Every structure is written in structure tokens, then in C-alpha cells.
Amino acid sequence: MNKSLKKIASLAVVGALVTGGLAFSAQAASADQLTNGTITITPATGNRADANFLNSIDVTTGCPVGYRSSSDTQIYQGTTRMGSVSLTRYSDSPYGSWGFTGNAIHGDRTIAPTNGYLSAKNLDTTTQGQVLNGTVGNDANFELRVYCYADNLNRNYTTDKYFSLAMSINSTGDWKVGAAAVAPATATTTSLTALLNSDNTTTLTATVKDPNGAALPAGVTGSVQFLEGTTVAGTGTITNGVATANTTVLAAGSHTFTAQFTPGNAAVYAASTSGSASVAVAQPAAAPGSTNVTTTVPSGTGSLTFSGLQSAISLGTAVLAGGLFTANGNLGPITVTDTRQLGSTTWNLTGTSTDFKDGSKLIDGKYFGWTPSLVGSGNAGTAGAAVLPAPASTSGLKAASVLTTGAVVDGTTTTVVGAALSLAAPGNTRGGFYTAVLTLTLL
């Protein structure tokens, strides 16, 4: 390229930077960025796969004193160094003037078309990584830096000096000089509810929505800090636009909270703060008062009695069947009334029969038996076991047998019992009118 063409290309780039200023955001200067020199490159546009990334590079001033050991051209995207696109330049490097005496920097391909000191790589082959493309409608920014190193063997990309040129790249890999306009983050609104729990903790729920009133979609990250004044009451992670947290147990009184949403990607969604939500924790009830109430219940009160025993019971005329004279009747109902105090001894109502006699004739009392049963419900006691006439039992009712037994029951004082009586005398018993005495004893 001749000097005239080179001058026209440089002016075109400068014009692009100036006229594009309205569309591009300014690159924030680092403490080690040199601002006393301006970088101009040709071409002003290209594609990341182009073999010759640069045709020329100019910087209006050279490397500062103390940083003239070496130089190269690096690519950054954000804070990430993607690596060099040029060979390392020294004071004796050919094919350009590289600024090691303070003179302006210039290099092009007019002398050497393959001038690696200008650029030896394209954007796809930088030494540390590749510049990421933008997305459709949103170009990505990156940065070209001309570095001046204090010590080539001990490079420090943080403290060594550099000139910077803002650049951008679209979704298909086309790049241009100048930073892309950064789309503003989508505004959000955060609402807050506070629910007082029975244990005086509070469940705080924040809902974050977009400008259309829709909850942030799944996949959007972020966190919510719940505050009572300036004190953090809890934090929650956004899931489908909602974050929750539970407070510790709150003291009595009113508590007012707010929620602050911090997006995971501040370039996509903006932060927002909710209005307030309050809960009121009731004052604890006054401590209960107490007093002693006394009374004296006398001991030894109440009684144990029974009633209802017939004066006489007829078994009727015995019938001979199966080699036995059998006769039957009924005892009772007998009512046992126990009004003694709780804790009194258990009681037993027992029965004992004599032999049946008619003058000198006799039927042994062992042939007399009974089958007790309770009458009605709500009885305090229980019925005794059946006692069958001999020989089904040893002694029949000739031996004392339990008709009913029980204990003092709170609220229940009576037991009603009866018994089916049965006589089974031997079949050779002499005829006669026999009488026995059945005695009931309550202890």
C-alpha cells in the first residue's frame, strides 16, 4: 500500500471512531492503560477467520520510558486475555517502527506481506482462547491492546502499560472497530409478602417480575436479600422468579421487611427493591396466677350391702331323665350396693347350700349347682363362674361359691346379678318334699 492509500485508510478509521461515538459505549480506562496515544488499524472491519487480521497498525505515540523491553498486540474480551495476535516486537524488529525510542508506532504489509510483527494470527487462533461471538441483535465487545513490557521475561499483564482500541463482533463473526452499544438490562419489579408463623418466625416470599408483569422465567438466576431495616433477616435463591426465606423467632412487636433482588447477570436483568411488608408479633400472655384450694374428706364413709334375696325358691317337681332327677329354678336378681370410698378392699358375694332333707331322707348338697349372670349393663362387678352339680363338680354349692365379685368403681355403686339354679339327684333318690338352705354371704 502506498503512503496516499495508507493515509486514506487511517482517516477512514478515525472517522469511523468519531462518527460511531454516538452508538458505542466508552471503554473504561484501566490504571495501566495509556491514554496519550490513539490506535488506528486497517481494515476497520473484517471476519474472525480472515487470514490477515491486520493490514496496518498505528499508535500516535510510542512506549513510555521504563516499558521498552518488548511489545506485542494482545486481544482481551472483558477481563479475559485471549492471547497475542502478533509476534513479540523488540527495538531491532523489522517491518515497522515499534515505538521503543518514544516515536510513534507504525507497521504494515507493504514491505513484507506476511509481516508477523503486525499480526501473525487471526481471531480464531489467538494463543490463549477465542473471542466469543455476539448473539443476533446483540454484538459482543472485545479489545485490542498494544502492550509495552518493562521486562519481556517477566511480563505482567496487570502492571505493564498498554494502548487500547475498543472493538465488537456480531453473531456471525464479523468484527469492526468500536464498542457495541450495550442494550440496557430489562427492568424488574419485586413484590414481598410476609407470613407470621405459629412459632413467631416469619416466612418471607419475594416475587420478581419483568415489565410485562410476568415472573422471571426458569433458568434466570439471582438472589434476594430480605432486610429488616439494614439487618439481613434472610436470603433466598431465585427459582422461577420466586425466592423465600424464614426468619428466626421474632420478638414481640411490629417487624417491617423489604426484599432486594440481585440478578445473576446484571446485563440481562436489572436489580429491584420491593415495598415493605409487616407482621406484628403479639405480646406474650401474662404469667398465670395460682392458689391452693383445700378440703377434707372424712374416712370410713359408705357401706357394702346386698338386697333382693327371695325368702323361698321353688325348683318344682324333679323329672327323671337320663338316670337323674333334675329340677331347676332362679335366684335373684340380687343387687350389691357399694358406696365405700375408692381404695377399699374388693368384695365377694358367695353362696353355700346345705343338704336337701325330708325327714330322715337326704339329697347331698353337692348335687346342687348354679350359673351366675349379670342383669342389665353398667354393673360395677362381674359374675362368678358356673358351679355344676356333682359329679360335674366336686362339691357343687355345698362348697362356698362366688355369685359375683367386684371393687369400688368411681361413679358406679351397684351390681345386679342372678343365677340359674339346677338340682341333679341320683335316679334312685326316694320320693319326698326336700328342703335345703342356700346362704349368701357378702364380704
Which residues make beta-bridge pairs with 239? 242
How many residues would you count in the chain? Answer: 443
What pLDDT, on a 0 to 100 scale, did the predictor assign at position 31? 65
Q: What is the mean pLDDT of the chain?
A: 90
Q: Which of 157, 177, 197 is the last residue of a domain?
A: 177
What pLDDT, on a 0 to 100 scale, did the predictor assign at position 10? 33
Domain count, the chain: 3
Which structural domain range is residue 258 located in?
189-281
What pLDDT, on a 0 to 100 scale, did the predictor assign at position 413? 86
Q: 3-class SS at 165?
A: strand
C-alpha cell, 406: 367386684
Same domain, residue pair 386 and 334? yes
> Residue 272's CB: how many other CB atoms inside 10 A?
19
Q: How far is CA 117 from the centre of its chain?
A: 61
Distances from the Cα of 159 to the Cα of 31, 73, 145, 146, 205, angstroms: 8, 16, 14, 14, 46
What pLDDT, on a 0 to 100 scale, did the predictor assign at position 23? 28
- pTM attached to this predicted model: 0.43
Q: Tell me the percentage of the chain whose pLDDT exceeds 70.
A: 93
Same domain, residue pair 244 and 312? no
Q: Looking at the predicted structure, is the pLDDT value of residue 51 above 90?
A: no
Q: Give the mean model confidence (pLDDT) for residues 3-30.
A: 34
Q: Looking at the predicted structure, is the pLDDT value of residue 25 above 50?
A: no
Q: Which of 246, 281, 316 is the last residue of a domain?
A: 281
Q: How confident is the model at residue 299 (pLDDT cuts 50, 70, 90)?
A: confident
Q: How far is CA 321 from the centre of its chain?
A: 83
**Could you report the per-residue pLDDT of 126-148, keeping only the tens digit for each?**
889 889 999 888 899 999 999 99
Q: Looking at the predicted structure, is the pLDDT value of residue 12 above 50?
A: no
Measured CA to CA, the distance from residue 189 to residue 308 in angstroms comes to 89
Same domain, residue pair 319 and 276? no
183 assigned to some structural domain: no
Residues near 44 by beta carbon (within 8 Å), at least 6 away in sequence: 9, 12, 13, 16, 176, 177
- Greater pLDDT, 16 or 66: 66
Same domain, residue pair 204 and 88? no
293 assigned to some structural domain: no
- Greater pLDDT, 298 or 417: 417
- Greater pLDDT, 23 or 340: 340
What pLDDT, on a 0 to 100 scale, did the predictor assign at position 256? 98
Q: Using an 8 Å Cβ cutoff, are 171 and 192 in contact?
A: no
Q: Looking at the predicted structure, is the pLDDT value of residue 198 above 60?
A: yes
Same domain, residue pair 377 and 424? yes
Same domain, residue pair 270 and 320? no
* Segment 196-203 long-range contacts (CB within 8 Å, at least 24 positions apart): 196/250, 196/279, 196/280, 196/281, 197/246, 199/249, 200/249, 200/250, 200/281, 201/246, 201/247, 201/248, 201/249, 201/250, 202/233, 202/246, 202/247, 202/250, 202/255, 202/257, 202/279, 203/244, 203/245, 203/246
Residue 338 maps to which CATH number? Answer: 2.60.40
289 assigned to some structural domain: no
**Could you report the per-residue pLDDT of 203-216, keeping only the tens digit for each?**
999 999 999 999 99
What pLDDT, on a 0 to 100 scale, did the predictor assign at position 30? 66
Measured CA to CA, the distance from residue 390 to residue 425 in angstroms comes to 9
**Could you report the per-residue pLDDT of 231-281, keeping only the tens digit for each?**
999 999 999 999 999 999 999 999 999 999 999 988 789 999 999 999 999
Instruction: Establish whether the linkage from the previous residue to 391 is cis, with ω within 30° of 0.
Output: yes
Measured CA to CA, the distance from residue 401 to residue 386 in angstroms comes to 9
Same domain, residue pair 153 and 225? no
Residue 247 maps to which CATH number? Answer: 2.60.40.10
Same domain, residue pair 314 and 421? yes
Measured CA to CA, the distance from residue 424 to residue 368 in angstroms comes to 7
* Segment 84-92 long-range contacts (CB within 8 Å, at least 24 positions apart): 84/121, 84/126, 84/127, 85/53, 85/54, 85/119, 85/120, 85/121, 85/122, 85/123, 85/126, 86/116, 86/117, 86/118, 86/119, 86/120, 86/121, 87/116, 87/117, 87/120, 88/152, 89/117, 90/152
Same domain, residue pair 215 and 161? no
Q: Tell me the percentage of the chain whose pLDDT exceeds 90.
A: 78
Q: Give the mean model confidence (pLDDT) for residues 310-323.
A: 94
> What is the DSSP code (8-state) at residue 186?
B
- Greater pLDDT, 59 or 300: 59
What pLDDT, on a 0 to 100 scale, did the predictor assign at position 5? 31
**Could you report the per-residue pLDDT of 149-171, keeping only the tens digit for each?**
999 999 999 999 999 999 999 99
Same domain, residue pair 63 and 171? yes
Phi then psi dihedrals of residue 392, to 5 deg: -70, -20
